Amino acid sequence: MDTQLIKDCEAKAQAWLDSPFYDEGTKAEIRTMLSDSDKTALVDAFYQNLEFGTGGLRGIMGAGTNRMNKYIVGMATQGFANYILKAFPGKTGLSVVVGHDCRNNGRMFAETVANIFSANGIKVYLFESLRPTPEVSFAIRHLGAKAGVNVTASHNPKEYNGYKAYWEDGAQVLAPHDTGIIDEVNKVRIEDVKFQGNPDLIEIIGGEMDFDYMTAVKEAMIDQDVILRQKDLNIVYSAMHGTGRVIVPLCLRSWGFQNIHVVPEQMVVDGNFPTVVSPNPENAEAMTLGMKLGTKLGADLVVATDPDADRLAIVCRDNKGEWTIINGNQTCMMFCYYIIKNKIALGQLKPTDFLVKTIVTTEVITEMARKNNIELRDCYTGFKWIAREIAISEGKQKYIGGGEESFGFLPFDKVRDKDAPASICLICEIAAWARDNGMTLYDLLMQIYLEYGFSYEHTINVVKPGKSGADEIKAMMEDYRNTPITEIAGSKVVLAKDFKTLQARDGKGNVTPIDMPATSNVLQYFCEDGTKVSVRPSGTEPKIKFYLEVKDTMHCPGCYEGCMERAKAKVEEIKKSMRI
């Protein structure tokens, strides 16, 4: 390990020990790191400042500049407060909404945030206890607040916590506010933070907001009649120890579903997530208890939400009656298929309606939109970009749905972040419609592949923790850029997109500009045979992600397994081509 780096980290740690602004518990943790002959923990805790990025903060909890603790949260909040006061000069009655999920230290961080905003003369609507991320987004819009914070690390492992920053539209902050807030946060020193709150400016909110949010969620419903006909649909739900535990069953009942069961062990609020390795709906292991209960009860489907209830997971029965997990791309496909088909059938679809997906989400949705003459917009990964599309068309065009491959969907526009309670209600409506038509959700998925072509999507996460990992990820991206890829798994690359330079290069070497609102460190390759590969370092975790999409033609529902077999073999070839 670099000796100069160790010295720099020791100096930073000593500065915390010498400062009167840090508590004794924090200092004791730092002394332990300093006294350890292995300096890995010290370096990871102090080698950089935990970056306040465009989405806020996310990191491992503990002492240090690169950790989530009340001091880093405090400096971030002071900077955010300074920016709000600058953005609305002379305006009185400024307010923010503050929420948190089930994670360890969540309430303490949320109260720290509320105290600092109130100490700066900004009114705070603080949720009484844990609430879903989409409800925080809804509350910002509903209460006319200027901004908001939700303390959550979403689906990350238990060691993490985070801080999502929202603007007055209920979406995570975008330009110019993102860089403006970052600039203010970077100016703040620990001695600038006003930790002593003003109780008169903190208002606790809860049940009334729950009711208003649930009422809004019903706007995502497309066909009440089909729900009433299939109200006994047998649904098993897991809250994954998090914020959906109360609101999701209530929302389902308000839609008309009457046969709802919950996974009791995972209804317990616990930031240690004792029943799962990681509370991530992308991990099949997290759904084990739900499937076990679903088998016992003969359920039609099993649904779950991640800890902050913005992502959802769906498990249904396949053609052999076995449980199968619907992946994020398939989830998004199902939503878009149903929204298009049934809005057309009910005469609800208008020429100005539009859908949104992210650039790494399946191209099957592109084909759906094209065949049905519906506008589909591609945007960057992250729901703030989907929210941006809603905002720029507000009052002119109607947003009817949008999602991404990472198990996030938003079926209505009253919220500006992914919304698992609303999406779970809608997927249960879709399951009811399928049953009404003699199908399961699995049969519906096969129908989509028959109509719009088979597609297999596979995501590879290469985890590279710490500073050395960050350097490796940077080198990998530079290598791809310096050595252009012309062929993937035996198929010629006909289009390569670099969203960092906003340039697209076709197979003949012609370069054209890419029309996007900002640059992003993403590379994308499209091949002659329909293969699509996207490469993107994660903005919130120490990993680089590869999104692979393989095409085939499916002639009958029974052809699915053969298509899958060929696709998985193709993925292995792609991995070799991409040097993964």
| CATH for 458 | 3.30.310.50
Report helix, strand or coil for 458.
Answer: strand
Measure the CA–CA gap between 68 and 56, rounded to whole angstroms: 11
556: phi then psi, degrees, rounded to nearest 5: -155, 160
pLDDT digit string (tens) for 168-215? 999 999 889 999 999 999 999 999 999 999 999 999 999 999 999 999
Report helix, strand or coil for 202.
Answer: strand
Report helix, strand or coil for 45.
Answer: helix
Measure the CA–CA gap between 93 and 91, rounded to whole angstroms: 7
Do 420 and 509 lie in one domain? The reply is no
pLDDT digit string (tens) for 532-543? 999 999 866 678
pLDDT-derived band at 37, boundaries 50, 70, 90: very high
Measure the CA–CA gap between 409 and 418, rounded to whole angstroms: 5
- For the chain, helix, strand, coil in percent to 5 are 45, 20, 35
Measure the CA–CA gap between 403 and 390, rounded to whole angstroms: 12
| Predicted local confidence at residue 540, as pLDDT | 62
Do 162 and 52 lie in one domain? The reply is yes
Share of the chain above pLDDT 90, in %: 91
Do 393 and 472 lie in one domain? The reply is no
Do 41 and 146 lie in one domain? The reply is no
- Is-cis flag, bond preceding 20, omega within 30? no
Do 426 and 501 lie in one domain? The reply is no
Parallel, antiparallel or unpaired: strands 95-100 and 123-127: parallel
Residues in CB range of 575: below 8 A, 6 or more apart: 460
Q: Which helix (H) or strand (E) element contains residue 547?
A: strand 543-552
Contact 72, 61 (CB under 8 A): no
* Angle of the 24-35 helix axis to the 3-18 helix axis, nearest 10: 150
Do 110 and 225 lie in one domain? The reply is no
Q: What angle do CA 111, 114, 116 make, to 5 degrees?
A: 110
Measure the CA–CA gap between 355 and 337, rounded to whole angstroms: 11
Provide the CATH number for the domain around residue 388. Answer: 3.40.120.10
Contact 486, 367 (CB under 8 A): no
Q: Is the confidence at residue 448, as pLDDT, over 70? A: yes
Contact 413, 422 (CB under 8 A): no
Number of Cα atoms under 13 Å in the Cβ half of residue 137 = 27
Measure the CA–CA gap between 486 and 528, rounded to whole angstroms: 11
Measure the CA–CA gap between 535 and 504, rounded to whole angstroms: 15
Q: Is the confidence at residue 497, as pLDDT, over 70? A: yes
| Predicted local confidence at residue 232, as pLDDT | 98
| Predicted local confidence at residue 570, as pLDDT | 97
Report helix, strand or coil for 569.
Answer: helix
**Segment 220-229 mean pLDDT:** 98
pLDDT-derived band at 52, boundaries 50, 70, 90: confident
pLDDT digit string (tens) for 242-272? 999 999 999 999 999 999 999 999 999 999 9
Contact 340, 372 (CB under 8 A): yes
Do 275 and 390 lie in one domain? The reply is yes
Q: Could you give the residue numbers annotated as active site? A: 154
Q: Give Cα 231 to chain centroid, integer Å.
A: 30
Angstrom CA distances, 224 to 220, 255, 400, stand at 11, 8, 17
Number of Cα atoms under 13 Å in the Cβ half of residue 70 = 21
- Structurally, how many domains does the chain consist of? 4
For residue 94, give both structure tokens: 């400024």
Q: Considering only 5-14, 284-293, 502-511, 534-543, which range has the smallest mean pLDDT?
A: 534-543
pLDDT digit string (tens) for 353-404? 999 999 999 999 999 999 999 999 999 998 999 999 999 999 999 999 999 9
Do 69 and 197 lie in one domain? The reply is yes
Candidates 339, 357, 356; CA nearest to 348 is 339
Angstrom CA distances, 58 to 48, 76, 245, 349, stand at 14, 12, 24, 39
Contact 415, 138 (CB under 8 A): yes
3-state helix/strand/coil string of 57-100: EEEEECCCCCCECHHHHHHHHHHHHHHHHHHCCCCCCCEEEEEE
**Segment 275-301 mean pLDDT:** 94
Measure the CA–CA gap between 84 and 80, rounded to whole angstroms: 6
Q: Is the confidence at residue 281, as pLDDT, over 90? A: no
Do 468 and 521 lie in one domain? The reply is yes
- Average pLDDT of the residues of the chain: 95
Candidates 536, 539, 529, 528; CA nearest to 578 is 536
Do 319 and 424 lie in one domain? The reply is yes
| Predicted local confidence at residue 472, as pLDDT | 87
Which of 147, 174, 205 corresponds to the end of one domain? 205
Domain that holds residue 264: 214-452
Q: Give Cα 63 to chain centroid, integer Å.
A: 26
195: phi then psi, degrees, rounded to nearest 5: -75, -25
For 271-295, give the DSSP string: TT-TT-SS--TTSGGGGHHHHHHHH
pLDDT-derived band at 579, boundaries 50, 70, 90: confident
Q: Which helix (H) or strand (E) element contains residue 469?
A: helix 466-482
pLDDT digit string (tens) for 80-115? 999 999 999 989 999 999 999 999 999 999 999 999
Sheet holding 260-262, edge to edge: 260-262, 235-238, 301-305, 312-317, 323-326
* Residue 529, number of CB atoms within 10 A of its CB: 15
pLDDT digit string (tens) for 321-367? 999 999 999 999 999 999 999 999 999 999 999 999 999 999 999 99
Q: Is the confidence at residue 504, as pLDDT, over 80? A: yes
Which of 452, 475, 510 corresponds to the end of one domain? 452
For residue 172, give both structure tokens: 């995570």
Do 55 and 160 lie in one domain? The reply is yes
Do 432 and 561 lie in one domain? The reply is no
Q: Is the confidence at residue 467, as pLDDT, over 80? A: no
Candidates 418, 416, 414; CA nearest to 405 is 418
Q: Give Cα 376 to chain centroid, integer Å.
A: 20
| Predicted local confidence at residue 367, as pLDDT | 97
